[in-house]
Amino acid sequence: MRRLLITGAAGGLGGILREGLAGYAEVLRLSDVAEMEPARAGEEVVPCDLADREAVIDLVKDCDGIVHLGGISIEAAFDDLLSANLLGTYNLYEAARQAGGPRVLFASSNHAIGFHKRTERLDDSSTQRPDSLYGLTKCYGEALASYYYDKFAVESVCVRIGSCFPEPKDRRMLSTWLSPRDFVSMVRAVFDAPVTGHLILYGVSANRETWWNNDHAAFLGWTPQDSSEIFRAAVEAKFPPEDKNDAATIYQGGGFAARGHFED
Ligand code: NAI
Ligand code: 15L
């Protein structure tokens, strides 16, 4: 890997990859609309608004792989999502096509499937069931990835990330937690693979209770090492048992599924 682009590099997951992928590529090209730390050895810092198509086309030139994290990462007004997530992701894929098709890791989200019940076990063939306008933009990103693969052979791994934080923040995250270490090893596996095609992957650690099955992607050779179990006692002591009749407990998307329509 000569040059790997990370969009959204100033964000939480961008920071994890900046550390965890140091030395993985000859150059990490770090991009965001927000301010970033100055470039260190083996890095380039390239500010860019994903909504600016010409700037994105320049950004993607000469890149051999792309980790697309940039965009709004929570529920928001449609007009804001329209610019950062819908237009931004379109620009990114169009730029990848024009650049000859570097592989893209698209940071999708569990909120693309958040209206499935927690009693269901999902895999790559499960239907999208967005739980929010935000989740809907991730469904669009996954569909864009599929289209750009089928028509232009731009490979993508769309990762439906659960909850990637240093520790699970509540009882739900005991199921959805992805450790930062497992996230980094997953990104490496995605770019080490000789071929991926268009793939849906769940970004989740080896938690005891999980709703997602990655068996279809065994060829990637990615095996998560961590489990939320070591945090269970502390999380259960801190948070009362969940109300089984609450939509936030019934659906995989938790609070995103339970909250009302953002525009109301
Ligand atoms: P974050 O909100 O910390 O970082 C997102 C970054 O994107 C920010 O630095 C922001 O400035 C940048 N950004 C927003 N609009 C932009 C634009 N128009 N042009 C360029 N950059 C723009 O989010 P986080 O947690 O780092 O997540 C990264 C990605 O992973 C997001 O796409 C998010 O939806 C996805 N994800 C994260 C999960 C998690 O547990 N952290 C779970 C599921 C999905
Ligand atoms: C997401 O998609 C968000 O980006 C992140 O902040 C968390 O809310 C995560 O999902 C989650 O479901 O825990």
Q: What is the pLDDT of residues 116-164, one digit of tens each?
A: 999 999 999 999 999 999 999 999 999 999 999 999 999 999 999 999 9
Report which ligand 2 atom has the smallest distance to the Cα of 176.
Answer: 13
The pTM assigned to this predicted structure is: 0.99
Question: What pLDDT does residue 116 have?
Answer: 98
CB 176 less than 6 A from any atom of ligand 2: yes
Question: What pLDDT does residue 112 have?
Answer: 99
Question: What pLDDT does residue 191 have?
Answer: 98
Residue 76 burial (CB count, 10 A): 18
CB 111 less than 6 A from any atom of ligand 2: yes
Question: What pLDDT does residue 196 have?
Answer: 98
- CA-nearest residue for atom 9, ligand 1, is 11
143 contact partners, CB below 8 Å, separation of at least 6: none
User: Residue 14 Cα, ligand 1 centroid: separation in angstroms?
Assistant: 8
Instruction: State the catalytic residue, choosing from 93, 134, 202, 251.
Output: 134
User: Residue 85 Cα, ligand 1 centroid: separation in angstroms?
Assistant: 10
Q: Quote the tokens at residue 252.
A: 């995989």
Question: What pLDDT does residue 256 have?
Answer: 98
Q: Examine the residue annotation and report whether 134 is marked as an active-site residue of this protein.
A: yes
Q: What is the mean pLDDT of each run of 10 residues along the chain (264 residues)?
A: 98 98 98 98 98 98 98 98 98 98 98 98 98 98 98 98 98 98 98 98 97 97 98 98 97 97 95
